[in-house]
Amino acid sequence: MYDDDRERVGHDATDFAYYGLPNPKPRSSQRRDTHLPESNPLVGHDAVIGYRSVGLSTEDLISFIESFASLRASRVKSVGHSQYALVQGQKFEAFTTSDTIRELIEELADASNYIDFLAIKLLNIQHTIDLALPDCD
């Protein structure tokens, strides 16, 4: 099925440049999740950089929210389109209430797993910091 974003919405996929972001390049690895960028496209956003240095302004926070919305939209256009788009309409439109609840529970389980993964990574980062900087509180 041909899907021309430029024709339909005036640009190709997510308009990262509109939000001052680099367009993420697909991973070059052989992993199956090739739809993911090599690095997060939001890592260079002014709000992220400002948070690490001088703090973020209201404008940067608003821009980040808009950029994150753009990233979510790009996921609907790519992965979501291949998984949920029908010839006419979207798969979720045919979901019963039970289907919707089951899908949400599965998404919550996935999100919870990612939180566990992040906890493990953060605890390992903390361990590395404690080894490198033992008396730095």
Question: pLDDT tens-digit profile of 27-62?
Answer: 344 444 444 445 677 888 889 888 888 888 999 999
Classify residue 12 by its DSSP letter: S
Q: What is the pLDDT of residues 98-132, one digit of tens each?
A: 999 999 999 999 999 999 999 999 999 988 888 88
SS3 letters across 35-83: CCECCCCCCCCHHHHHHHCCCCCHHHHHHHHHHHHHHHHHHHHHHHHHH
Helix/strand/coil for 17:
helix
